[in-house]
Amino acid sequence: MSQRVSLLFGVHAHQPVGNFPSVLIDAHLRCYRPFLQVLYRYPDFRFAIHLSGWLLDYLLSNYPEDMALLQQMVARNQVELFGAGDTEPVLAVIPNRDRIGQIQTFSDKLAQKLGQRPQGAWLTERVWESTVIPALADCGIRYVTVDDYHFVCAGKALTELNGYFTTEEGSQKLDLFPISEALRYKIPFAPAEETVAYLESLVNQTTTHTQNAAIYFDDIEKFGIWPETYHWVYEKGWLEQFIQKVLASNIITTQHFSEYHAAERTRGIVYLPTVSYIEMNEWTLPATAAHAYGELTQQAKLQGWYEQKKAFLRGGIWKNFFSRYPESNWMHKRMLSLSARFAKLPKKQQTIEMQQKLYEAQANDAYWHGMFGGLYLPHLRRAIYNAMLTLEVMLDACKSRPKSFVEDTDLDGMQEAYLHNAALQVVVKLDSYASVCEFDAYELQHNFADTLRRQIEHYYQKIQDGHRDAAHQNDGGIASAHDRISFKHAISAQDILADDHPKRLFVDFVNGYPIAYSSQNSALENLHFVSHSNLGTVHKLFILEKNQLHVLYRFGAKTKQTFCTEINLAMPSCDGMGGRYRYQQEILGGFGQWIELSNVTEIMLDDDTLGGHVVLKTSAPVSLRAHPHFSVSQSESGFEKIMQAVTLELEWLISTQELTVTLAIHARNHV
């Protein structure tokens, strides 16, 4: 009997909870629909697919004819469905009870909607920690796919990684399929004939009966959404050429993971370290460490020993994003506290709607950043807060919280004070800035403090070095997004300077220097802070009243010094058409513009996306400067500037001994 190689071919399709409708429509037209249509024409080409739960619901609702194709492919045994957490969480960073709930919810959905309960699971961002094994096993998942890099980091040689291995945690076992990095970089970027020739070279030439597996499982978005790929994959016919050549080969057999798993023995026991895919090693590190890591790997490549020893040049782990980005850590710890509150409710009070909102708050995308990841994207963070605040209202209705309390939510060693009523919640960081780190409007389901402090990113070095449109590509193929350097916007040196203070609400300065406060009360009905300096005493009080937050400033000395408070407001329309400043019945301009006014006592920020507006009032005239706060990030489309917030700077002389700044929040139906 001639030896053959089993091609285990899988694709992962995902869109973040809360993504723009235009992005979903484009992804469907350029990727999901043509991919399914091509595969449908080749029933002998077996493959696996994982569609994240939110995307699956969207496609079933909006494109039932395409989902009918997928259902038919499942019914004729062409497709194997892979499970996961329903909202695509990183399983390692949510409680075990939620891991089980997420996996079971999605497995049930696949069985009900597509007619197949999964045996295998996709791990979000291939983030591996052994702690996830029990939950997967408890949910009937028998195997997962992770990168071959994970195995190399455990001491395995690439030549060994031609089948599946077994691991365990607490006596519960799970089998692991190693995804080939070589195939990830060839499919679909190298010419089809080159890729098929590589697959054929993997055939087992020994006399044993064991059949080698060529394992591919990667983002379906590489088949149409990444730059140049729609033209390459569909218009130039790469996908059909690849399928035809695979089916014509007398060496390659396409199989389901489940078929291979049932027919072949495990290659043995393995214990993997905590790790994700290789590119994530760099992304998880802060800039200085990432520079060092990048220089070391570049040196290794130049000296020719990188491929042999890259497992020993490991960078950071996925959880580093929480220590790198305070905004990510804050969201995560808020989510964990809501999960704990939900779990403590009596079962009869727990509802499907609560569970759904909790799971939406656990969607991975807004918690991290690299070439991909959505931390820098305000609409994805907004979706997380929308879910959390909706859940918080439901939890409060079941079991009320104290109207004020103090805790160290984000575990940074500095406590936060919470004040809330039925309409609003304000969270003040009890550090020297005495500023607002979360400001929630429950009816609008929005956190107005949801912005991002600008920090140095490792890839800024590429901007500073002036690289433009550099790309390495396969001979005769196209370049991967990982190898591209391109610019969606013009980026200046000023755009990539790190912020020297938090981008919160009510960060105060005198003559350009930040004021240092200390807390003065423990009762917390009203938060009171005091600053003592050679300029005299400054009192600062936070008062929550219905739909209004009042911040009162009282000065102990009359001086000619200039006092300034900076208010950073996350306005959902950002610099789009839906946001505008209204002043004395006139529209001054959009949130992306710079505005300066003197002797102001009131201005409105109206936002169509928000479905409401913010009215800022002062008890005495002030000068106002308003401008957008941008950050610079990278994506597969290139370097881009993203508006994070509206920055309002209010200035007045301290000779005005008392002044109150009020933020009133109104839903559109409460004008």
Q: Indicate which residues carry an active-site annotation.
A: 125, 219
* DSSP-assigned states of every residue in 274-337: SB--TTHHHHTS-HHHHHHHHHHHHHHHHHT-HHHHGGGS----TTHHHHH-HHHHHHHHHHHH
Q: Is the peptide bond before 188 cis (omega within 30 degrees of 0)?
A: yes
β-bridge mates for residue 543, sequence order = 550
Report the alpha-carbon distance of residue 653 to residue 599 in Å, rounded.
12
By three-state DSSP, how is residue 361 classified?
helix
The enclosing H or E element of 597 equals strand 595-607
| Residue in 230, 232, 187 with CA at minimum distance from that of residue 26 | 230
β-bridge mates for residue 659, sequence order = 553
Count of beta carbons in the 10 Å neighbourhood of residue 168: 15
Tokens of 323: 């220590």
- Please say whether the dihedral angle defined by the alpha carbons of residues 382, 384, 387 and 393, taken in this order, is positive or negative: negative
Residue 355 vs residues 166, 260, 286, 358, 641: alpha-carbon distances, Å: 32, 36, 34, 5, 35
β-bridge mates for residue 128, sequence order = 275
Residue labelled with tokens 């001979």: 475
Report the alpha-carbon distance of residue 463 to residue 448 in Å, rounded.
31
By three-state DSSP, how is residue 626 classified?
strand
131, with CB counted inside 10 A (0-12, 13-18, 19+), is middle
The enclosing H or E element of 197 equals helix 192-200
Report the alpha-carbon distance of residue 441 to residue 462 in Å, rounded.
40
- Please say whether the dihedral angle defined by the alpha carbons of residues 434, 437, 440 and 446, taken in this order, is positive or negative: positive
Tell me the three-class secondary structure of 398-443, residue by residue.
HCCCCCEEEECCCCCCCCEEEEECCCEEEEEECCCCCCEEEEEECC
Count of beta carbons in the 10 Å neighbourhood of residue 601: 12
Count the alpha carbons within 13 Å of 572 in the hemisphere toward its beta carbon.
Answer: 24
Q: What angle do CA 18, 24, 30 make, to 5 degrees?
A: 155
Count of beta carbons in the 10 Å neighbourhood of residue 348: 6
Report the alpha-carbon distance of residue 101 to residue 359 in Å, rounded.
9
Instruction: Tell how far CA 163 is from the center of its chain.
Output: 32
| Residue in 240, 242, 234, 236 with CA at minimum distance from that of residue 216 | 242
Report the alpha-carbon distance of residue 515 to residue 508 in Å, rounded.
6
Tokens of 585: 């019945």
Report the alpha-carbon distance of residue 407 to residue 415 in Å, rounded.
5
Residue labelled with tokens 């597969």: 636
Euclidean distance between the first and final Cα of the chain, in Å? 79
